């Protein structure tokens, strides 16, 4: 029983690096890309926006009655339209209080449409079929930069009745494509820059040096300097009288050799896993099994004999059953590829959720020759 408690769970992943073999680091193949695809200009950046809003039109899956937040929000909205309604009389099962987030892109002018993410702030069960009411989006300085409104698109759903329902992914968060309109711009004056600083999206010393060399070769003289693994500086005086816009337009299509890093991206909310073709795995043994425990309770009526002083009571009879499937083992040789890993996981019946747990364990064991990024 102690052993079962220790390994209780629906997913069990055990990893052991065989012998003293160390995971061999592999160098991904070099690629040639455009300079503008791997760099950004310092100071030209996105700005986060956030707001609090209300989603309406839900099918009795909104916030519950005890939640004060959506009632106050709805009362405030109705008050703007001249409707005075006591908060205690508002039924909120078809509405949900939400937080709305967005990214204001650089050079966005009033009238530009941007995407927004909507997430439940209360105890709503699902935002399916909901519409976001007009919501102000604020920047870090407390000013309104955009207004959001529109129907939601969800990546999950829930169905059924209380006690017997099915939930897929996250039905309490959604997205509105082009759901916000920019009302205020964030000015960026490129003409005032004394130095054009290019920033690599992924820091790498070799790539930084390659970019500086490509710019110097294109200009016919030394104008760019690789400062570190992420930054390349170009003085404004070396641009030959061109503006920052003209100069960057001239160099952004230059071919540059980069050394891409092996990376595995995992989205735990949707169970999506994306692995690059350069990802390799060291010698490792994976054991995967399931432990299922079912607890059932049946109620029996204890009836005393006739004309006795006893009382009729309901006595619960609890039964505990458990089933542990044999662990399935997968052996991966030294230098195994992504295809080997995927095929092996499918052969042992691993689900996307299982694969997430297995990848995390492989990374912890030091056998995954890539960066594991969970979003």
Beta bridge mates, 198: 41, 232
With H, G, I as helix, E, B as strand and everything else as coil, classify residue 261.
Answer: coil
Using pLDDT thresholds of 50, 70 and 90, give the confidence band for residue 370: confident
Question: Would you call 25 exposed, middle or buried from its count of C-beta atoms within 10 A (0-12, 13-18, 19+)?
Answer: exposed
Residue of 332 and 112 predicted with greater confidence? 112
Domain ranges of the chain: 2-26+264-294+321-374, 31-44+189-258, 47-182
DSSP secondary structure letters along 75-99: HHHHHHTT----GGG---TTEEEEE
Residue 372 corresponds to which tokens in the numbers above? Answer: 């594991």
Q: Which pLDDT score, from 0 to 100, does residue 150 have?
A: 93
Mean pLDDT of 106-112: 91
Q: Which residues pair with 41 in a beta bridge?
A: 198
Q: Are 266 and 356 in contact (CB under 8 A)?
A: yes
pLDDT level of residue 358 (50, 70, 90 thresholds): confident
Average confidence (pLDDT) over 365-372: 77
- Residue 293 confidence (pLDDT): 46
* pLDDT mean across residues, the chain: 76
Residue 241, classed as helix, strand or coil, is coil
3-state secondary structure of 169: coil
CA pair distance 279, 24, nearest whole angstrom: 12
Range of 224-228, 316-320, 369-373 with top mean pLDDT: 224-228
CA 266 – CA 357 distance, rounded (Å): 10
Please name the residue ranges forming H helices in the chain.
Answer: 2-6, 35-38, 68-80, 205-219, 244-251, 338-347, 352-364
- Residue 374 vs residue 86, higher pLDDT: 374
Q: Global pTM?
A: 0.60
Helix 205-219 with 244-251: angle, nearest 10 deg? 110
Q: Are 26 and 278 in contact (CB under 8 A)?
A: yes
If one compares 25 and 274, the residue with the highest pLDDT of the two is 274
**61: nearest Cα among 8, 113, 127:** 127
User: Model confidence over 38-80: pLDDT tens digits?
Assistant: 888 888 888 999 999 889 888 888 887 666 666 777 777 777 7
In 3D space, the residue among 51, 31, 172 whose CA is nearest the CA of residue 104 turns out to be 51
């Amino acid at each position: 029983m102690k052993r079962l408690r220790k390994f209780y769970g629906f997913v069990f992943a055990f990893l052991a690096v065989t012998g003293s073999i160390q995971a061999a680091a592999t160098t991904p193949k070099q690629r040639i890309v455009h300079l503008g695809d791997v760099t950004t200009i310092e100071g030209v950046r996105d700005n986060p926006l956030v707001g609090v809003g209300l989603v309406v039109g839900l099918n009795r899956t909104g916030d519950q009655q005890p939640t004060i937040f959506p009632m106050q929000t709805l009362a405030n909205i109705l008050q703007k339209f001249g409707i005075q309604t006591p908060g205690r009389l508002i039924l909120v099962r078809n509405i949900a209080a939400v937080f709305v987030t967005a990214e204001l892109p650089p050079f966005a002018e009033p009238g530009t449409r941007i995407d927004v993410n909507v997430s439940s702030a209360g105890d709503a069960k699902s935002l399916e079929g909901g519409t976001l009411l007009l919501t102000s989006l604020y920047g870090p300085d407390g000013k309104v930069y955009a207004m959001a409104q529109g129907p939601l698109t969800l990546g999950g759903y829930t169905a059924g009745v209380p006690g017997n329902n099915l939930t897929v992914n996250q039905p309490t968060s959604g997205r509105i494509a082009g759901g916000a309109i920019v009302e205020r711009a964030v000015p960026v004056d490129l003409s005032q820059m004394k130095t054009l600083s290019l920033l690599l999206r992924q820091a790498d010393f070799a790539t930084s040096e390659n970019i500086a060399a490509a710019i110097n070769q294109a200009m016919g003289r030394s104008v760019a300097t690789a400062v570190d693994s992420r930054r390349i500086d170009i003085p404004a005086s070396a641009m030959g009288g061109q503006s920052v816009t003209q100069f960057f337009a001239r160099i952004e299509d230059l071919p540059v050799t980069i050394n891409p890093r092996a990376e595995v991206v995992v989205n735990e909310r949707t169970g999506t896993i994306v692995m690059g073709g350069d990802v390799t795995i060291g010698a490792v043994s994976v054991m995967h099994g399931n432990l299922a425990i079912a607890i059932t309770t049946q109620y029996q009526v204890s009836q005393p004999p006739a004309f006795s002083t006893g009382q009729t009571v309901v006595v619960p009879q609890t039964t505990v059953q458990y089933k542990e499937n044999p662990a399935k083992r997968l052996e991966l040789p030294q230098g195994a590829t992504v295809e080997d890993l995927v095929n092996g996981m499918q052969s042992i019946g691993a689900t996307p959720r299982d694969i997430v747990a297995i990848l995390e364990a492989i990374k912890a064991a030091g056998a995954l020759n890539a960066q594991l990024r969970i979003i």
